[in-house]
Structure 1
């Protein structure tokens, strides 16, 4: 019989899902909303332009099923299909490879091996040349591509790969951080140290000190559209590739390396991806190169769409970390010194593990000032998938470390963790504003955000009520936590902080926009359309975004690091401004007014007292031979970084936010329910509040999933056992918070000159999921009367929760035993 008071009673129903944008009236007394805006903000916006909740430009296509992805494109005549042949060993030498049965199978046109590559058998994105497209003498992880079958149909290709006969000689395999360290700790990239002061000397002098270790798991990207590519050969060696990639320029470069041809012969195009989350920044290169290789050799179009199991087996994940920490502090909960080592399972090749582990260090302070600090990375080589970019790019793992320090201090001192967070927050304009990489935090609002959210969601009273509930509840325990995020925005590889765009106005007044960013559902294209709408005062149906194409905008950066809108938005604005300046000059001369008297309005273009419909102005400009097309370019200012010294300004600005989560935990089963979540997030002057709120909601759920339900498991042979939806659990609809309140901070435009003073919103809100992990920890701490830090590792699956609960109960029993202090 169901318990009406139990949070797990399904008959009780679900509370409504609630989202809102602060309207500027409720929070007028907050210091956050009292900050003066920059001189050029707030902007006067036209109807439907930037900062308006315009619907997603492909939204109707998405819900109607007519949005075209790689596998939906019309198939050219004679299209060939590929399937990869994968290693069944984690570390081995290839003694022999018999592919005759594969070649003789029905429908097989070609079997590709490394010997068929005319150029370089290498797809390393960082130039280490440690990542062959197809393995040759050795294999380095279970699932590595060794050969590829090219067939008339996909079914024939998939059937034929199973006929290969490969004989291996096993070699020692290193599968996790512990094994890597025991084997000598071979690195895939150099270790980085960030330091300020003298942490080793300061730690023994601190009034109190705690050391420990935590592990945080990896995460599968689980994009809805798997890795896919199609290539079509052209004349004189031309190759056109359609790829589900976040980095068309890098994919183009890899194809040229494999085919040994100039970049001008290869064009890569992507209209949209069915999700990416970082998993298509480098991992898309292999499928694209294989299809281009097959097309080049056969002279026929070729396509590869990975099966979900193969996709998960082949591709890299979020890096899992082991974080060793030592923190000195005082009775008031103030941090004196921090020493932390962040070790990551990186996989068999470098991929992006260097930059990922670097960024983990950059965020190992989160929103907190460490007076003396030393942070060290340990990017370890293992015989597993080469881990890669994932939303947050190492930042969330570093923040997990920072928040564990806060939790340790709170339990050691008996303080509310929120008070410990507030006492250690950065204070801009004081001596407590310098990061471990020696960048000043000029705009810290983390403490104000936490205070505002705590008051808005009644955190203090709810915490008291929860403790009272736990004192009477035998099995169901509740917990609450409020955590902040400070997230740096920019590529730490400085040269990536650039973007290009191309804008055309046609003689009917319609506008076409192209830029170097890629759409993967996040609404980037919609925001680019809004920028054009705002500047020319046009409606959405007059502006058309086109597929990202290396033949239109070259040498682009990956759509990653939350910089898509920042970089490409400014490039689009630059292109539009060039055309607009020409039109203003022409209109002023043509209608005999000053340039200041020209205004673009929703009703048309005003030239003094004359109102000209926008299409008429464009037609007149065309006949006057005024250029109606322009490219645009932008590079991020101020940033610099020296990895040799561990100092610089790697970020243009920081995005902030705070989240409060309340959970209920069944200590008999380990089951957990997120009861309520309140989020206050800083998106600057949002380009599109509706899209940004959606990004915050989705990022939170994805972050909570990483830390609770999503678990990657390898067996002793190095096989990924969680390689399908049947064995890998992403959050479902029933896992969402019962009450979900999301608000965007108002009247807080970006202090830096970003696109219309907005802030990036892709990665920072992912960190809000961390509040769930700490709420679970708070619930479990009640089992030992809040006397000890639960030291809950992630993901906090039911099994992990039960193990932690058992340990805490035993500790409580030991405390209660006669003669126990």
Structure 2
């Protein structure tokens, strides 16, 4: 098969045609054609410099214990080996914990999880390094590992102390409530499974400098940690990221160890060193979404209205803190999802286990809290004998309410979103039809669920809510854009380029987004928390507005007009004087400005307003605004096997005024499928010794195209954001993942029909066919027992 690219419009012609592809337009991803043709360059596609070496780590074979012998002689003697590096060979800092200390580059005398790196071997080829690493002779004094949340709670094993959020008096309100419910849900984690595994390429430079090409969501953190392990200033380290083959959060902090190891090896040998994890090593050595064990006590009235809630969340953190403190906090923030829990107490535990340190994953703890909210609402509905949607609508927040962490509810459009989706997807008629089908069909059962999403947008660590950008306008009218955000396939580069095109009112083809590098835009925040477009879009807009203001002042002086007489319009600058319009091509105008010594370059900056949170009092406004939406899912299960199929999903999602509807809809579709996979097919398993059993594509099932619903409809709500975000848009990265919760609720609904909807089945996640079958059998036993 031969691929041909479309004809490229000559540059001179593109400079003159009407502007297109600006903000709000359905423009294709800036690398879409490269992705399809295979010409998009990832780190492992880069031509390797002469002398490039390859590093691989040697891994522990136990989960917990002391290292009594580490003999690396056979490693050194292996073919192709150039160097072997241990903790003692690191010239600077050896602890690269992103927030809290404890993450050593290599084990220091003891092992805390199965597969923990003990050393690195550097060889002429990846295969040689891989084979050599297996030759190490290691002996241990084993200790009993902690491998579950339950064990950690029993043994008071935590990476950080528990945190509590509280509103009112939950204990008294529970005691006085007409009815009480209690329950629990175990929510398993999720493997990152990005297409491009963790990789870094370190190249030593002059003056002890280091250039690092890294697949990371946080270039500035990699820069800082590489500088620390090499014991050099940050200014001598440059980290560059053009694109990642997926991130999802796993490359926010956990890209750093491999960059640091590559840099240490490159510095010792003064040769380029590449460190790429193969798929199995990536799954064993890197963190996942946290498992959560969630428990609740609710006080309700006979209508199903929540009066009080006492909730306990316990996150499966692994052997160090990594980002777990903030992740458990985020689960606590979102355990109410869309609902007013009234008098509430939420306690969050950070459980330390002898497993790999879990980390950020799309939603950052929010999904594990939000699914528990939907679990509670379903349980209430079964207890009071009502349709779950009616119970959900009864308990929705209203404008003027406040959350259990003190943030006021404002501009709450979620009730309208739910009502709109309910009508558009014929929820009531389908509910009646499904109830009748389930009554008459003993073998096939269908389930239906309509669930909301309310997700807070901002980093909960306040100082991270800032961004920078650098914009150059060249004399031919083309624009060079750099910003601190990273591109992992989500379309951030495209959206920010559209902002720049919009500000100058020029063709998107005239804007080039450069790779993210720490020497152009310094001190950047990670591309995470769904804040990439919000922060970097505003920073780029600020840079453009600085340049535009200079150009307008120049036009006033040069043409003798007022600022109101100057406008940017369709690749032109229009000067109105004495009632007549003079149209200058944008390229001609900026060239004229340059010849009159006007600066055509500016650094922009943005910091999110209004946000604050006092962790000591567990109150404040941690989120600038909420992104909202709703999903309705219909499923069919086979009660004889537990097998099921998602028949239909309808999503109505709020992205404010969309910067790019095509990209936003793509993110919603992908987020839903990833969320559905988390809750149905993707199962993380460890054996009794702490070895990851689901450590390959053969033992870990991500969703595929055949899992996508036969009927899949996604619509944007289209209401401008009430807050002053970039063009009143809203974030889209993380919130859609939680629409997958509708599928899990629909499966529970189908299983509940086995016992005539009188009992809420226990259905821990992922809801695999085996778990669905077990839940069906439990319902059948209850039904048989009367």
* Same fold flag (TM > 0.5): yes
For 1:667 and 1:226, the matched residues in 2 are separated by 39
2:626 to 631, 654, 670: 654
* Per-residue CA distance 1:433-488 (angstroms, 9 max, x = gap): 10000010111112111111000000011011001111111211100000000000
Task: Tell me the residue number matched to 2:415.
Answer: 447
Q: Which moved more, 1:160-169 or 1:602-611?
A: 602-611
* Structure-2 change in CA distance of 1:518 and 1:603 (3 Å): closer
For 1:283 and 1:475, the matched residues in 2 are separated by 46
How far 1:588 sits from its partner (Å)? 2.1
**Which structure 2 residue ranges, 5 or more long, are not aligned?**
1-17
* Structure-2 change in CA distance of 1:144 and 1:318 (3 Å): same
For 1:585 and 1:261, the matched residues in 2 are separated by 44
* Per-residue CA distance 1:188-209 (angstroms, 9 max, x = gap): 1221111010001110111111
How far 1:182 sits from its partner (Å)? 2.1
For 2:29 and 2:556, the matched residues in 1 are separated by 36
1:595 to 543, 563, 575: 563
Mapped pair 1:192 → 2:163:
yes
Task: Tell me the residue number matched to 1:563.
Answer: 531
2:86 to 113, 129, 133: 113
2:296 to 321, 325, 332: 325
Task: Tell me the residue number matched to 1:336.
Answer: 307
| 2:530–2:732 CA contact under 8 A, matched in 1 | yes
Mapped pair 1:576 → 2:544:
yes
Mapped pair 1:704 → 2:676:
yes
Mapped pair 1:499 → 2:471:
no
Task: Tell me the residue number matched to 1:632.
Answer: 604
Mapped pair 1:462 → 2:430:
yes
Task: Tell me the residue number matched to 1:409.
Answer: 380
For 2:605 and 2:571, the matched residues in 1 are separated by 30
Alignment of 1:305-704 (within 5 A): 305-429=276-400, 433-608=401-576, 609-704=581-676
Task: Tell me the residue number matched to 1:9.
Answer: none
- Where 1:333 maps in the other structure, the secondary structure is coil
* Per-residue CA distance 1:603-661 (angstroms, 9 max, x = gap): 51101111000010111011100000000000000000111110010000000000000
Task: Tell me the residue number matched to 2:10.
Answer: none
For 2:157 and 2:535, the matched residues in 1 are separated by 36
Mapped pair 1:85 → 2:58:
yes
Task: Tell me the residue number matched to 2:235.
Answer: 264
For 1:603 and 1:765, the matched residues in 2 are separated by 36
- Where 2:134 maps in the other structure, the secondary structure is helix
* Structure-2 change in CA distance of 1:60 and 1:408 (3 Å): same
| 1:347–1:382 CA contact under 8 A, matched in 2 | yes
- Where 2:160 maps in the other structure, the secondary structure is coil
For 1:686 and 1:192, the matched residues in 2 are separated by 36
Mapped pair 1:277 → 2:235:
no
For 1:311 and 1:618, the matched residues in 2 are separated by 49
How far 1:214 sits from its partner (Å)? 0.8
Task: Tell me the residue number matched to 1:37.
Answer: none
* Structure-2 change in CA distance of 1:807 and 1:240 (3 Å): same
Task: Tell me the residue number matched to 1:143.
Answer: 115
TM-score (norm: length of structure 1): 0.93
Mapped pair 1:67 → 2:67:
no
| 2:297–2:309 CA contact under 8 A, matched in 1 | yes
| 2:19–2:571 CA contact under 8 A, matched in 1 | no
How far 1:46 sits from its partner (Å)? 6.4
For 1:670 and 1:285, the matched residues in 2 are separated by 42
- Where 1:567 maps in the other structure, the secondary structure is helix
How far 1:186 sits from its partner (Å)? 1.7
For 2:408 and 2:95, the matched residues in 1 are separated by 40
Mapped pair 1:103 → 2:71:
no
For 2:21 and 2:202, the matched residues in 1 are separated by 38
| 2:19–2:508 CA contact under 8 A, matched in 1 | no
For 1:769 and 1:652, the matched residues in 2 are separated by 24
Task: Tell me the residue number matched to 1:162.
Answer: 134
* Structure-2 change in CA distance of 1:100 and 1:531 (3 Å): same
For 1:57 and 1:204, the matched residues in 2 are separated by 58
Alignment of 1:211-222 (within 5 A): 211-222=182-193
Quote the RMSD (CA, aligned, Å).
0.9
Q: Which moved more, 1:798-807 or 1:509-518?
A: 798-807
For 1:705 and 1:310, the matched residues in 2 are separated by 22
Task: Tell me the residue number matched to 1:178.
Answer: 150
How far 1:47 sits from its partner (Å)? 3.6
2:104 to 122, 132, 138: 132
1:245 to 204, 211, 216: 216
TM-score (norm: length of structure 2): 0.97
* Per-residue CA distance 1:11-65 (angstroms, 9 max, x = gap): xxxxxxxxxxxxxxxxxxxxxxxxxxxxxxxxxx964210111111111111000
1:745 to 717, 722, 729: 717
| 1:503–1:513 CA contact under 8 A, matched in 2 | yes
* Per-residue CA distance 1:770-811 (angstroms, 9 max, x = gap): 000000000000111111011211110011111111111101
- Where 2:539 maps in the other structure, the secondary structure is helix
Task: Tell me the residue number matched to 1:20.
Answer: none
* Per-residue CA distance 1:237-290 (angstroms, 9 max, x = gap): 100000000000001111011111110110000000000000100110011001
| 1:111–1:150 CA contact under 8 A, matched in 2 | yes
For 2:427 and 2:448, the matched residues in 1 are separated by 8
| 2:216–2:241 CA contact under 8 A, matched in 1 | yes
| 2:676–2:743 CA contact under 8 A, matched in 1 | yes
- Where 1:191 maps in the other structure, the secondary structure is strand
* Per-residue CA distance 1:107-157 (angstroms, 9 max, x = gap): 10000100100111111000x221101112001000111101101111110
Task: Tell me the residue number matched to 1:41.
Answer: none
For 2:647 and 2:24, the matched residues in 1 are separated by 32
For 1:421 and 1:766, the matched residues in 2 are separated by 20
| 1:481–1:660 CA contact under 8 A, matched in 2 | yes
For 2:266 and 2:691, the matched residues in 1 are separated by 32
Q: Which moved more, 1:559-568 or 1:398-407?
A: 398-407
| 1:209–1:326 CA contact under 8 A, matched in 2 | yes
| 2:202–2:259 CA contact under 8 A, matched in 1 | yes
Task: Tell me the residue number matched to 2:6.
Answer: none
* Structure-2 change in CA distance of 1:46 and 1:743 (3 Å): farther
For 2:502 and 2:323, the matched residues in 1 are separated by 37
* Per-residue CA distance 1:85-123 (angstroms, 9 max, x = gap): 111111010001000000011110000100100111111
| 1:588–1:607 CA contact under 8 A, matched in 2 | no
- Where 1:574 maps in the other structure, the secondary structure is helix
Task: Tell me the residue number matched to 1:233.
Answer: 204
How far 1:363 sits from its partner (Å)? 0.2
- Where 1:229 maps in the other structure, the secondary structure is strand
| 1:315–1:385 CA contact under 8 A, matched in 2 | yes
